[in-house]
Amino acid sequence: MLDLWGDLFFFPSWGWILTAATPKGLCACHMLAGDEKSMATKVPPMEVQRAAKTHVHRLLPGTRVLWQPNDVSLAAREALAAYFAGSGKHPDVPLDWIFGTAFQLRVWKEMCRIPFGTTVCYRDLAGRLGLSQGARAVGQACGRNPTAIVVPCHRVVARNGSLGGYSWGIHIKKALLALEGGKPDTRPLS
């Protein structure tokens, strides 16, 4: 069983954020969004932690969450706090992808190249991976991204300029893009 150091913290207007890390890097970042935001005032912290633990086990099976931050998760908390406060900087923390297919890892690494405040379309991201018809597969890999925000799947949009999908809801994707000052822009990555 792999031990993960878990951290759970609340940002007003955003809700609860869960991170999980190994000593090498961040392996999960999840926003408890939507109705889960009400957990901040209506649900005891232990209940929030229980829901977060369930999510980690579903996302990263065979792991045990130690509810104490390590150096990586503390760095992630600090970077995310600055990001949500409007620092204008991407939350840069080391990553440790302990799960994911080879294809998903390629997509996630390529998403890390999308500059802050810009977007790229699924089709062009697939093209950068050598997949002329891979937009749907790229979208599926985006949806399975365990380290959202830090690996910016919210910066990937549809070719027609619509936002496409987002695991935490399209309203969160819009809010993240607004925070970054990004507009749907389907120019290829350079």
Whether 159 contacts 186, CB under 8 Å: yes
Task: Tell me whether residue 153 is one of the annotated catalytic residues.
Answer: yes
Residue carrying the six token digits 């999908």: 165
Q: Could you give the CA distance from residue 59 to residue 50 in angstroms, rounded to a whole number?
A: 14
Does domain 2-84 fall under CATH 1.10.287? My reply is no
What phi, psi does 16 have (nearest 5°)?
-80, 135
Q: Which CATH number fits domain 102-180: 1.10.10.10, 3.40.50.150, 1.10.240.10, 1.20.1430.10?
A: 1.10.10.10
Q: Where in the chain is the domain with CATH 3.30.160?
A: 2-84
pLDDT tens readout for residues 36-49: 445 455 666 777 88
Closest CA to 61 of 20, 9, 32: 20
Q: Where in the chain is the domain with CATH 1.10.10.10?
A: 102-180
Q: Could you give the CA distance from residue 10 to residue 77 in angstroms, rounded to a whole number?
A: 10
Spell out the per-residue pLDDT of the chain, length 190, in tens: 899 999 998 888 888 899 999 999 999 998 875 444 454 556 667 778 888 888 888 888 889 999 888 999 999 999 999 999 999 999 999 999 998 999 999 999 999 999 999 999 999 999 999 998 899 999 999 999 999 999 999 999 998 878 888 888 888 899 999 999 865 544 444 4
User: Greatest CA span in the chain, whole angstroms?
Assistant: 49
Closest CA to 155 of 177, 134, 179, 126: 177
Spot the catalytic one: 27, 29, 121, 153. 153
42 CB neighbour count, 10 Å cutoff: 8
